[in-house]
Structure 1
Amino acid sequence: MTAIAQGRTRRATRMTALCALAVTGLAALTGCGGDEDPDAGTNGVGKLPPARIQAKTRAAADAAPTVRLSGTVVTSGRTYTLDMRLKDDGGTGSVTSQGATFRLLRVGQELYLKADADFWDHTDGSDGATGKLDGKYVKVPQGDPAYKKFSGFTDKDVLLDGLLTLHGTLAADGHHTDGSGTRTIRITGDKGSGGTLDVSLQGTPYPLRLVRAGHAGTLRFSDWGENFTVTEPPASETVDYGKQLPTS
């Protein structure tokens, strides 16, 4: 090969290498942002109109056999802090209100309430009742006003019906990431004044976080579909209150 031919070959090789570097650099820049599709690799609900997103996430929530719900609910001027695991035939967890914490357990239609002496002192004011009920499961009669008030906290369908609703005109509010790193699409009612709901973009489009309208609380939903059991407490840990339970 002549010197001229060798020079041409070297120049061609350098041009090929430079072109390859340029293409690689352009691909890297494109991958760092730019026109990247925010819905790439997701379940696709982020591309839907807000009303369809709400319908999809509600259907997913209704179909799930279980869920864990935690956060705050403000109703009738009172704030309740919840940490409940719910399923179609029962639920269990804790509720805190006005500094008093109690546990709820529902198995089928049977509802039990368990609290310490501070709770019963606050609601009952009877030293005799406090000693009898402290740390025990109290079976709540279905005809007692307390049953209607507290059983709703253990009822998956009742809670989701009352909570998973945005008010006003629906709109999308961009792509986000929740505390666990799950990618979400956020929808709002009346630009947020009617509530906001973050919906999972990974796997099933479950609701993950709800900010209720009117500063009525913030809730997180997790453990969708993770099975757990609820069983009636042993007789040795259960007492009969003997009169109408306090609901204050």
Structure 2
Amino acid sequence: MTAIPRRRTSRTALLGAMCALVVTGTGLTGCSSDPDEGTNGVGKLPADQIQAKTRAAAESAKALRLAGNVVTSGRTYKLDMKLSSEGASGSVTAEGTTFGLLRVGEHLYVKADADFWTHADGKGDGSDSDAAAADKLDGKYVKVPAGDPSYKKFSGFTDKDVLLDGLLTLHGALDTDGHHEQAGTRTIRITGDEGDGGTLDVSLEGEPYPLRLARAGGAGTLTFSAWGKSFALAEPKKDETVDYGKQLPTS
């Protein structure tokens, strides 16, 4: 009399295991026929409406973390930045050289090693005078004057609104490309020009934040995380800072 319930229990367990296997392999949620069940509902919208909602969510968020690669003007930049409306902190790597960026309000600082400063403007010749000047800046927060040509270049990596406005753009006709998963979060993917214009994964859980962007033309891939999570920003200590006044030194 007890064998039948056990077989039913075993069959139920087997079906549950098969369901879990399918979920793991495809990124779908449960064995429901509706992949949008239990989500924020944006997966049911047309691609242009999804894009509008994810842009609005990104713009309203107080903070985020952005990481990945961006290819522009033939150069590849590796970014790992925490961004907020109040400023930013993080690092950028370009051509094998990494430098730190810190912006608190309008005050912008660059922190790098001596080698970075020796070749910062492409004119350094490795002379003793170059090395001496660079050694003064080695490992220090160098305050970038607002009027210096470098200010606009560096601050672009620290401006949340500027970065997101430039990055969250898909080119060509928009369409959806199924349900996916990013770092354990269910997403709906939208594409531009059938993927040639870039792809963007949008969260189906909570706010429809953008979570992963593959830029058009292989121009880099970025992930977005820690949406709305504030982080500490503070001016560096005086003994850690070098202020060169109106213009940064050149080699």
- 1:77 alignment counterpart: 74
Contact kept in structure 2, 1:123 and 1:246, CA below 8 Å: no
Question: RMSD of the alignment, in Å?
Answer: 2.6
User: 1:216 Cα shift?
Assistant: 1.1
Q: Which runs of 5+ in 1 are unaligned?
A: 1-16
Give 2:63's aligned residue.
Answer: 66
- 1:143 counterpart = 2:147: yes
Find the residue that maps to 1:86 and give its secondary structure. strand
2:124 counterpart of 1:120: no
1:98 to 95, 99, 104: 95
Whether the aligned pair in 2 keeps the contact of 1:146 and 1:246 (CA below 8 Å) is no
Listed as ranges, the matches of 1:155-166 within 5 Å are 155-166=159-170
Cα offset for 1:243? 7.0
One-letter amino acid matched to 1:142: A
Q: Which amino acid aligns with 2:219?
A: A
Q: Tell me the residue number matched to 2:106.
A: 109
Q: Which residue of 1 is the match for residue 174 of structure 2? A: 170
Q: Name segments (4+ residues, structure 1) moved above 3 Å.
A: 31-35, 241-247
**Secondary structure at 1:198 match in 2:** strand
TM-score (norm 2): 0.83
3-state SS of 2:234 partner: coil
**What CA distance in whole angstroms lies between the structure 1 residues aligned with 2:163 and 2:99?**
18
Q: For residue 102 of structure 1, what is the amino acid of its counterpart?
A: F
Please tell me whether the aligned partners of residues 166 and 188 of structure 1 are also in contact (alpha carbons under 8 angstroms): yes
Counterpart selection for 2:134 from 122, 130, 135: 130
Q: How far apart are residue 219 of structure 1 and its match?
A: 0.4
Match of 2:231 in 1: 228
Count of residue pairs the alignment pairs up: 228
Tell me how far apart the structure 1 counterparts of residues 74 and 244 of structure 2 sit (CA, whole Å). 28
In the alignment, residue 109 of structure 1 is paired with which amino acid? E
Post-superposition Cα deviations, 1:54-94, rounded to whole Å, max 9, x if no partner, equal 01111100010000000011111111100000000100000
Q: What amino acid is the match of 1:159? A: L
Partner deviation per Cα, 1:183-235 (whole Å, 9 max, x = no partner): 11100000111000000111111000001112111100000011112111111
Which of 203, 207, 216 is residue 206 of structure 2 equivalent to?
203
Specify every segment of 5 or more residues in structure 2 that has no aligned partner in the other structure, as ranges. Answer: 23-30, 125-129
Q: Larger Rg: 1 or 2?
A: 1
TM-superposed deviation, 1:245: 3.5
Q: How many percent of aligned residue pairs carry the same amino acid?
A: 70
